[in-house]
Amino acid sequence: MNLLKAIASKLFNSTTTFLYLAFAIMIIGKIIFWYGHPLLTYPDQAAYLEMAELIASGKLPYLDFFEWNPPLIMYLNLIPLAFAKQLHVPVIAAFNYSVIALCAYSTLMSLHIASKYMSKQQLTVFLPFIFAAAYFNLNQTINIGEREHLFTVAYLPFLILRGLAWQGQKLSKFDAILSAFVAAVGMALKPQFAVSAALVELCFYYQCRTLKVFARPEIYTVAVVFMLYLAGLMLLPLSVWDFYFNQVVPLYINGLSYSGRALIYMLRHDPNFFLPFVHLLVTLPLALVFARFNLWIAPLGIFALSFLFHYIYGDQAWPYRFIPMTASLFMLDGLLIGMLVEKIFSRSNLSKFANLVMTFAILGIASYTTYSELISESANRAISTQPFDLANIGYQGDCLASDFDPLVFSILSLTKLDDSVIFIGNGIEPGFPAILQSGRKLGSRYLFCNLPFIDHCATKTHDQRWEKMAESAVENYGQDIIKNKPAVIYVQQRQLDELLERYHFFNRFMGAYELAGENIFYKVWTLNGRQSKSGVTGDPKQIVIDIMAKKTTIDDAVLESGYERSKIERWLYLARLALEHAVSKHTSDRQIEIDENINKLNDTVNQLKAENEQLKLDLQKK
């Protein structure tokens, strides 16, 4: 037993190395994944990258392009934009790598703080906590880089450090200032983030009852970052803030209910939230039972509930809003597991082995999950579409065509690399990410159309200022079209085209454009005389007809339309079956008629046989 303890003692001194290795495997796995998806992004992330592009070209937020939200995220996206231009890679790829780099900092910094300042017993409890947080943060795909995701990632090391500070642990100024600086930037992304962080501090205070922990370097650092941010905002021209507070804010307050959801839908029927909500109902009560055994449990519970409130109060079924809630539940799960493992080993007088077992368990799980994800990714790529040549959008390399929004292929077929595009729709999608993915320029100051929100306000309040705002928005669109001459304009069907028609938009500003096509989602307007560069459309029926008529090939259709090869082949299979059925229908119909006649003859024969047997019986009786 003494020998085993001696071995365990030596191994403990090197377990931190294995933990760094485990987290490095997870991080490298994600780098490999995103390397294979250089243009995979989603609406919000693409929109903020486009805003960074506009700012880099000299545009001012709100005044020169329309947006609701505070500007910090737009300016932060100048960082991946600068890297993208320097390295000549797509800005989407630079952005995704930047987020993974932030996740790497968060994970490794958290491990550094925990292993440096915690006892062996406390570290054993915290290792599953850090692993759960790292796994959650690294495995965001649709929501990678959303502000809630960035805040969660940036805040993690600061949360651990502040808990240690409340326990009275002496901390280095460097660790305190670095973790606080990154966390403060995350808090500044939205006002409610700072509120949730403040609630966590109040929860720590309630448990520890001391004020001196508020007078520490990390708290001063947070205060300085917020003051610098406010000073930076004041450097923007007064005209920006005049427009923001007199037009953007009133429209946001009065018009956001246009896309509001009922509470029961948000909690029960939204598939994105239902499982996290169940997770909350299971994990939180269980964790709070053990809150007296761990200083971080109650603050994490308050943190989760605060973001549940933000989600409900926001009145929108947007999944990214509850990312911090779900992340805190993962952390609570990790803490509970760590506490359980530590308790089991301490009761067995094997506490020295607890850290060792936990370390190699994390290394094994990290290796297995990363390997499984890469194998799954390899299998998906094997059955996916052929690579899309990035030369079509001005870069080297390739990516999966399935990573694109389908609108991209319409844009590519109707435009050249230097052309601009406008999508007039009531949401960011599908205009973004499609315009950014296609490498084309935005042809208007509106990344999404605010007319439906203005119309909603006008209907609700009957205030004349909304009518003036609507006319101004229509006029702005018209001036943008005249100035930028976009090669193609997409107009959302039904509501948007009806709203624009109300202001005679098409007669006033679209004289140089012709209707090139439409589907159930939008109409496509192109400059007069502008023809599609490709014969392939996004209509499945037309794709099948063109392939069967030998106007295009399956390979070309895959690349140009963005549909999976297997899907197009399935359409062709079904189409050929339908043709064979149609061609042979007369034979099939004749066969049915023959079968019916045979059945009738058989019935007649059987009836005659029965009558014959009856006659025989009658003769025998006589």
Identify the pLDDT of residue 265: 73
Query: What is the spatial distance between Cα 357 and Cα 363, in angstroms, rounded to a whole number?
Result: 10
Predicted structure pTM score: 0.85
Question: What does residue 90 show for φ and ψ, rounded to 5 degrees?
Answer: -60, 140
Helix 173-187 with 91-117: angle, nearest 10 deg? 140
281, pLDDT greater than 50: yes
Cα radius of gyration (the chain): 32
User: How many CA atoms does the CB half-sphere of 43 hold within 13 Å?
Assistant: 14
Handedness of CA 177, 183, 187, 193 (dihedral sign): negative
Name which of 449, 58, 476 is nearest 237 in CA terms: 58
The two three-digit tokens of residue 399, written as one number: 């990516």
**pLDDT tens, position by position, 184-230:** 999 999 999 999 999 999 999 999 999 999 999 999 999 999 999 99
Query: What is the spatial distance between Cα 396 and Cα 390, in angstroms, rounded to a whole number?
Result: 6
- Whether 338 and 129 have beta carbons less than 8 Å apart is answered as yes
Place of tokens 């209707």: 515
Distance of CA 9 to the CA centre of its chain: 44
The 3-class SS string of 188-231 reads CCCHHHHHHHHHHHHHHHHHHCCCHHHCCHHHHHHHHHHHHHHH
**pLDDT tens, position by position, 91-130:** 999 999 999 999 999 999 999 999 999 998 899 999 999 9
Question: If DSSP codes are grouped into helix, strand and coil, which group holds residue 524?
Answer: strand
- Whether 30 and 138 have beta carbons less than 8 Å apart is answered as yes
Which residues, listed in sequence order, are joined to residue 492 by a DSSP beta bridge?
522
336 burial class (0-12, 13-18, 19+ CB within 10 angstroms)?
A: buried
Identify the pLDDT of residue 519: 81
**pLDDT tens, position by position, 361-385:** 999 999 999 999 999 988 888 776 6
**pLDDT tens, position by position, 306-353:** 999 988 888 787 889 999 999 999 999 999 999 999 989 887 777 778
Place of tokens 């003036």: 468
Question: Nearest 5 degrees, angle CA 185-CA 86-CA 142?
Answer: 50
- Which percentage of the chain shows pLDDT scores above 90? 64
Question: What does residue 355 show for φ and ψ, rounded to 5 degrees?
Answer: -65, -40
Query: What is the spatial distance between Cα 164 and Cα 457, in angstroms, rounded to a whole number?
Result: 49
- Which residues are within 8 A (CB) of 131 and not within 5 positions of it... i.e. 6 or more apart? 22, 23, 334, 362, 365, 366
617, pLDDT greater than 60: no
Question: Nearest 5 degrees, angle CA 398-CA 403-CA 408?
Answer: 90
Strands 488-492 and 398-400: unpaired
Identify the pLDDT of residue 575: 78
Identify the pLDDT of residue 264: 74
The two three-digit tokens of residue 322, written as one number: 């509850």
Burial profile 560-592: b = 16 or more Cβ within 10 angstroms, e = fewer:
bbbbbbeebeebbeebeeeeeeeeeeeeeeeee
Q: Is the peptide bond before 387 cis (omega within 30 degrees of 0)?
A: no
- Whether 522 and 553 have beta carbons less than 8 Å apart is answered as no
Strand order in the sheet with 441-442: 441-442, 420-424, 488-492, 522-527, 513-518
89, pLDDT greater than 80: yes
Query: What is the spatial distance between Cα 294 and Cα 581, in angstroms, rounded to a whole number?
Result: 70
Place of tokens 């085993």: 4
User: With bands split at pLDDT 50, 70 and 90, how would you rate the model's confidence at 536?
Assistant: very low
* Domain map (residue ranges) of the chain: 9-236+260-374, 404-533
Least confident of 104-108, 237-241, 253-257, 349-353: 349-353
Identify the pLDDT of residue 622: 47
Query: What is the spatial distance between Cα 453 and Cα 67, in angstroms, rounded to a whole number?
Result: 13
- Whether 530 and 503 have beta carbons less than 8 Å apart is answered as no
What is the mean pLDDT of the segment spanning 135-150?
Answer: 96
- Whether 420 and 443 have beta carbons less than 8 Å apart is answered as yes
User: With bands split at pLDDT 50, 70 and 90, how would you rate the model's confidence at 462?
Assistant: confident
Contacts 24+ apart (CB under 8 A), 359-366: 359/15, 359/18, 359/19, 359/22, 359/127, 360/18, 362/19, 362/22, 362/127, 362/128, 362/131, 363/18, 363/19, 363/21, 363/22, 363/25, 365/22, 365/131, 366/22, 366/23, 366/25, 366/26, 366/131
Question: If DSSP codes are grouped into helix, strand and coil, which group holds residue 423?
Answer: strand
